[in-house]
Amino acid sequence: MARWIEETFHPHWRVRLEASKVLHEVKTAHQHLAIFENETWGTVLMLDGVCQLTTLDEFVYHEMMAHVPLMALAAPTRVLVIGGGDGGVLREVLKHPSVAKATLCEIDRTVIDLSLEHYPQIADGCFDDPRAEVVIADGLKYVADTRERFDAIIVDSSEPIGPSAVLHTRAFFTDCKRALKKGGILVTQNGLPFLFPEHLRATTEIFASLFRVASPYMCTQPCYFGGPFALNWASDDAGLLDVAEATLARRVTKRGITARYYTPAVHRAAFALPGYVAAAVDGLMRAIKSTVKSNVSTNNLVAKKAGRR
């Protein structure tokens, strides 16, 4: 008899997924982890009652986390991924031939080991790439202590509960900014703004206070129940938000990137915010007029720290 596993993140409603076979379930030192098979979604990972990935649609999130910042950069060489023990973001990062080193900092070795055991197709061998470095550590402490400087930092955390809560704080993002090279890009996941607009607003407020430019962007992630999914971008180089579609297309071809969700047109359009998302960050953001002449949409609102030159 199949078991139904419930997502408990939402306070007033529940979503259940049928587990035709539970592959692994454990309470680690950091979180409750469940891996199971579902006839529609494939293999599913849930952490602390929140759906993290499925093998059916993982490519959406991982491509948008990695390619949006890296395609905006002419030749990224050093990239840091915080979290992401399944290897999906690291896999996409390493598709960029200019990347000489990609560091993955994961707090829980169990996540990596079980991912490789139960859905190795997500990592697709990326942990064996000589350019990949895996550090088992608290991401908060790592960015506070590291002396390395990165072209991009990608925060592939879970929701702001449990051990991931610190990866949504001002202190953490401040240290991320310090660990970036001049003109580097910071991106993070920002949840479901239809249900949790306060999450998006809080991160955008922090980003706008630390960087010259911040802008949420969107993707449609089917297994994240509750509407389109938000990510967030921050950089001191405003021009990186306005890379032309033709330039992005040339970079895709030159780098030999293959993707199922990401395209240059999607890259540009992802920053066009639905009205309710723009409303969630109203007062924190304003349209770029003189600094960035955006052709994406009049709804492409970009936060800029007031008074920063």
DSSP conformation class of 239 = G
Whole-number Cα distances in Å, 52 to 45, 110, 209, 230, 303:
6, 15, 29, 14, 28
pTM over 0.85: yes
Q: Which two tokens stand for residue 181?
A: 């090279």
Q: Which two tokens stand for residue 252?
A: 């895709």
CATH class given for the domain over 58-280: alpha beta
CA angle 261, 221, 301 (to 5 degrees): 85
Q: Which two tokens stand for residue 280?
A: 């969630």
Distance CA 110, CA 133 (A): 17
User: What residue spans define the domains of the chain?
Assistant: 3-54, 58-280
SS3 at position 86? coil
CA–centroid distance for 59 within its chain: 12
How much is the pLDDT for 299? 39
CA angle 201, 229, 158 (to 5 degrees): 80
Q: Which two tokens stand for residue 1?
A: 């008899």
What's the pLDDT tens digit per position in 225-259?
999 999 999 999 999 999 999 999 999 999 999 99
Distance CA 150, CA 288 (A): 26
Whole-number Cα distances in Å, 56 to 44, 50, 83, 205:
9, 17, 20, 33
The amino acid present at 30, given as its one-letter code, is: H
The pLDDT profile of the chain, 309 residues, written as one tens digit per residue, is: 679 999 988 888 899 999 999 999 988 776 788 999 999 999 999 988 889 999 999 999 999 999 999 999 999 999 999 999 999 999 999 999 999 999 999 988 888 999 999 999 999 999 999 999 999 999 999 999 999 999 999 999 866 666 667 777 899 999 999 999 999 999 999 999 999 999 999 999 999 999 999 999 999 999 999 999 999 999 999 999 999 999 999 999 999 999 999 999 999 999 999 999 999 987 665 433 333 344 333 334 444 433 332
Fold exhibited by the domain 3-54: Spermidine Synthase; Chain: A, domain 2 (2.30.140)
Q: Which of 86, 156, 175, 242 is catalytic?
A: 156
Residue 175 appears among annotated catalytic residues? no
User: Smallest Cα–Cα separation from 301: which of 283, 279, 278?
Assistant: 278
- Helices 58-72 and 245-255 cross at an angle (nearest 10°) of 110
Core vs surface per residue 16-51: b (16+ CB within 10 A) or e:
ebebeeebeeeeeebbebbbbbbeebbbbbbbbbbb
- What residues contact 76, with CB distance under 8 A and at least 6 apart? 69, 70, 96, 98, 99, 151, 152
